[in-house]
Amino acid sequence: MSPSPAAPTHCPYCALQCGMMVGRDDNGAWAVSPRDFPTNKGGLCRKGFTAASLLDSPERLKRPLLRREKRGALEPASWEEALDFVADKLIAIRAASGPDAIGVFGGGGLTNEKAYLLGKFARFSIGTANIDYNGRFCMASAAAAGLRAFGLDRGLPFPLEDIPEASVIIIFGSNPAETMPPIMQYFEEQRRRGGRCIVVDPRRTATAKAATDHLQVTPGTDSALANGLLHVAIQRGFADKAFIAERTSGFEAVRRVVARYWPDRVERITGIPAKKIEEIAELCGRAPSLMALSGRGPEQQSHGVDNVLSFINLVLALGQSGKRNAGYGCMTGQGNGQGGREHGQKADQLPGYRRLDNVRHRAEVAAVWGIDPARLPKPGLSACELLDEAGRAIRALLVFASNIVVSAPDALALAKRLGALDLLVVSDFFLSETAEIADVVLPVAQWAEEEGTMTNLEGRVIHRRPVKPPPEGVRSDIDVMVGIAARLGDDTLGKSADNVDDEFRRATAGGAADYAGITRERIDAEDGVFWPCPDAGHPGTPRLFLDRFATPDGRARFHAVEHMEPAERPDAEYPYFLTTGRILTQYQSGAQTRRVPSLVAAEPAPFLEIHPDTAALLSIRQGDWVHAHTRRGAVTLAARLTPDIRRDTVFAPFHWSGAGAANALTNAALDPISKIPEFKVCAVALERASAPTAPASAREILHS
């Protein structure tokens, strides 16, 4: 095959949405080359570079698979048979148990148009209230905190180009050097200009090493740290009284609470020396411009919303919000983690960041759909609650773009719940671990075979362009939804799908996340357009809150936060903290990146990071097998000794399944507001093991 001209598009993976060219190389294989786009400035990480190799992967699903007998094997089926099978079951379940017995689970990797249509498919075609998505595992705490404090949730309220302009940046619980490598260009530039960058993380990560300061906190103590910093800053007279009076409300309660977080006490909670807390507070207090950026570290906790709010309090009290080159931002995760949470695949939400419990919002969306607002269901169950009801109130689950068997917390319990369903349907392009246990697997097109828009971590809407047609036998997620809807008696979803670009933008018009003016032509001409952008003449909004916050009175709101312990703390039986997260060369559940040979070669197996002193106490040497167990499950992992982690903490990446699946260990304790699970903190016991335990696949758990 001869090389084909490369076409411009974006990486399928993370929220940076790096620009790339995709075409055939001299050997006829699909290949990626970097493209100069404002987010990545020509940079790409190894995952992005190798993404196109999966387009022609021999493991690609090209025919629907059907489990005709409950305990039988998955066998090839025609599309007609597979969709008929799904629809017949759904109709029977709906008749017996009502529409809410059908759950829909979406993903932050879906385009805006697909996320929009999935919400309509669930609420209108099926009529269920119960749709939620994997973003609930991701930035739900930051989103809830942003809504509470600023009246609006957009990951970063400013473009990346503002980062180098900030004089001081606090990165709390994010490791972009591994999770978004090209973004480091902006932090490096900030340092070159003499800025200070403080990383708060229990591990001395690649990001911490690139920073000027590292605060190696005890897991689960970010809010105590933020309260301590604010305590010192107020005591030293750095509170911005004019800003607080003019642009905020609720400061007094925060002042009272943080008065009790004197540095010695905060040192005892966080492990950060009081002197260091004073130094950093002074630095923040004097900073001409301060940014605080959060990642999943403090967010994926049972007090995730409070953790974020406590840093927002610091930024607000110092007058470092609602102006250029300053403010709080969340570094969103998945490719469309941002857009995916704005357009209706979240349990409480309608397109345009509208709310299902708001009468006006319901009427606006119902008008676009041409239905009576009463036909819209009430808010449904959030992701973990939905999965917990599987096989109980939820009888059927349709999964689009998530590999929950690997990525949800307390995975062994989840596998049992999924096994109790009457019907599990998975739409994917690979036989993920979740697809493996499904009753029906529907093979769909990949990123470079479809067109749509995505919204990156800055709120910049970008254009995903098709580079090649999908392989024969493969359909799109949209075809799947339309095919099922039609069999359920809804012929209108097909019409919506034909004009989904247009209908989607109309459905957002007038909402907080207004995309009405964001056409693909504009995106191409302007390197993306920032929402809100209500009409064709509007320039888009790279910077939010400069004049006013998005609350009804225009003021940002303080929230007094008391530091609270995580749901589980180390004790005599389970003496260490376990935290989980990511490594550079693997993506999420690994369903994609564990199928890329060069990434597998780089990091072939899961491991456990452990401090050499801790390892010595347990007679564990480099590379030894370690049996790690919690109140929920046990795994065996190879020990990776590193002085970069706290002595009381171990770290496991969650990209693998089977015997090394980190989520067999994690705690599904939820934040009461965001309903995010506590992936980042639980208590674990460790012992040296002589051999790895046999891998327990979800399929085996189900049938044991």
List of residues contacting ligand MGD (CB under 6 A): 14, 107-110, 134, 137-138, 172-176, 178-180, 200-203, 205, 217, 219-220, 222, 295-298, 300, 333-334, 400-403, 406-407, 427-430, 432, 444, 477, 579-582, 584, 586-589, 591-592, 651, 654, 662-663, 666, 679-681
Instruction: Find which of ligand SF4, Mo ion, ligand MGD, none residue 243 binds, CB within 5 to 8 Å per kind.
Output: none
Is 202 or 329 the residue whose CB approaches ligand MGD more closely? 202
Query: What is the nearest approach in angstroms of Mo ion to the Cβ of residue 50?
Result: 20
Q: Which of 528, 658, 583 is nearest to 203 (CA)?
A: 583
Cα distance between residue 31 and residue 159, in whole Å: 29
Binding residue for ligand SF4 (CB under 6 A) from 14, 143, 144, 533?
A: 14
Query: What is the nearest approach in angstroms of ligand SF4 to the Cβ of residue 430?
Result: 17
Instruction: Find which of ligand MGD, ligand SF4, Mo ion, none residue 298 binds, CB within 5 to 8 Å per kind.
Output: ligand MGD
Which residues from 27-66 bind ligand SF4, rule CB under 6 A?
40, 44-45, 47-48
Sign of torsion, CA 646 632 592 299? negative
Instruction: Find which of ligand SF4, ligand MGD, Mo ion, none residue 428 binds, CB within 5 to 8 Å per kind.
Output: ligand MGD
Q: Applying CB under 6 A, does 138 fall inside the site for ligand SF4?
A: no
Tell me the three-class secondary structure of 560-573, residue by residue. Answer: CCCCCCCCCCCCCC
Whether the Cβ atoms of residue 678 and residue 308 lie closer than 8 Å to each other: no
Whether the Cβ atoms of residue 220 and residue 564 lie closer than 8 Å to each other: no
Helix (H) or strand (E) holding 355: strand 354-355
Instruction: Find which of ligand SF4, Mo ion, ligand MGD, none residue 603 binds, CB within 5 to 8 Å per kind.
Output: none
Instruction: Find which of ligand SF4, Mo ion, ligand MGD, none residue 44 binds, CB within 5 to 8 Å per kind.
Output: ligand SF4
Query: What is the nearest approach in angstroms of ligand SF4 to the Cβ of residue 47?
Result: 4
Our measurement of the distance from residue 152's CA atom to the centroid of its chain's CA atoms, rounded to an integer in Å, reads 18
Whether the Cβ atoms of residue 218 and residue 201 lie closer than 8 Å to each other: no
Is 183 or 386 the residue whose CB approaches ligand SF4 more closely? 183
Binding residue for Mo ion (CB under 5 A) from 181, 298, 304, 333?
A: 333
Q: Applying CB under 6 A, does 281 fall inside the site for ligand SF4?
A: no
Q: Closest residue to ligand SF4, Cβ-based?
A: 48
**Residue 371, Ramachandran bin (φ over 0: left; ψ between -120 and 50: alpha; else beta):** beta
DSSP secondary structure string for all residues of 634-649:
EEEEEEEE-TTB-TTE
Whether the Cβ atoms of residue 117 and residue 483 lie closer than 8 Å to each other: no
Query: What is the nearest approach in angstroms of Mo ion to the Cβ of residue 401?
Result: 12
Is 181 or 581 the residue whose CB approaches ligand SF4 more closely? 181
As to burial, measured by CB atoms within 10 angstroms (0-12 exposed, 13-18 middle, 19+ buried), residue 372 is: exposed
How far CA 405 is from CA of 1, 83, 456, in Å, comes to 39, 23, 26
Instruction: Find which of Mo ion, ligand SF4, ligand MGD, none residue 128 binds, CB within 5 to 8 Å per kind.
Output: none
Query: What is the nearest approach in angstroms of ligand MGD to the Cβ of residue 537?
Result: 32
Tokens, residue 127: 């009529």
Sheet holding 7-10, edge to edge: 7-10, 19-24, 30-34
For Mo ion, which stretch binds (CB under 5 A), given 28-36, 130-138, 355-363, 487-495? 130-138
Residues that bind ligand SF4 (rule: CB under 6 A) add up to a total of 14
Query: Residue 164 carries which side chain, given as an amino acid letter?
Result: P
Cα distance between residue 389 and residue 414, in whole Å: 10
Question: Please, how many CA atoms are within 13 Å of residue 90, restricted to the half-sphere of its CB?
Answer: 29
Query: What is the nearest approach in angstroms of ligand MGD to the Cβ of residue 57?
Result: 11
Is 155 or 228 the residue whose CB approaches ligand SF4 more closely? 155
Binding residue for ligand SF4 (CB under 6 A) from 6, 9, 16, 154?
A: 16
Instruction: Find which of ligand MGD, ligand SF4, Mo ion, none residue 592 binds, CB within 5 to 8 Å per kind.
Output: ligand MGD
Please tell me whether the peptide bond between 532 and the residue prior to it is cis, using omega within 30 degrees of 0: yes
Query: What is the nearest approach in angstroms of ligand SF4 to the Cβ of residue 461?
Result: 15
Which residues from 141-200 bind ligand SF4, rule CB under 6 A?
180-182
How far CA 625 is from CA of 392, 591, 621, 635, 693, in Å, comes to 38, 24, 9, 10, 10
Tokens, residue 108: 């932050």
Helices (H), 489-557: 492-498, 500-508, 520-526
Q: How many residues does the chain have?
A: 704
Query: What is the nearest approach in angstroms of ligand MGD to the Cβ of residue 105?
Result: 9
- Strand ranges (DSSP E) for 558-624? 576-581, 607-610
Query: What is the nearest approach in angstroms of ligand MGD to the Cβ of residue 371?
Result: 26
Query: What is the nearest approach in angstroms of ligand SF4 to the Cβ of residue 95?
Result: 44
Is 61 or 550 the residue whose CB approaches ligand MGD more closely? 61
Query: What is the nearest approach in angstroms of ligand MGD to the Cβ of residue 550?
Result: 24
Which spans of this chain sit near Mo ion (rule: CB under 5 A)? Answer: 138, 333
Which spans of this chain sit near ligand SF4 (rule: CB under 6 A)? Answer: 11, 13-14, 16-18, 40, 44-45, 47-48, 180-182
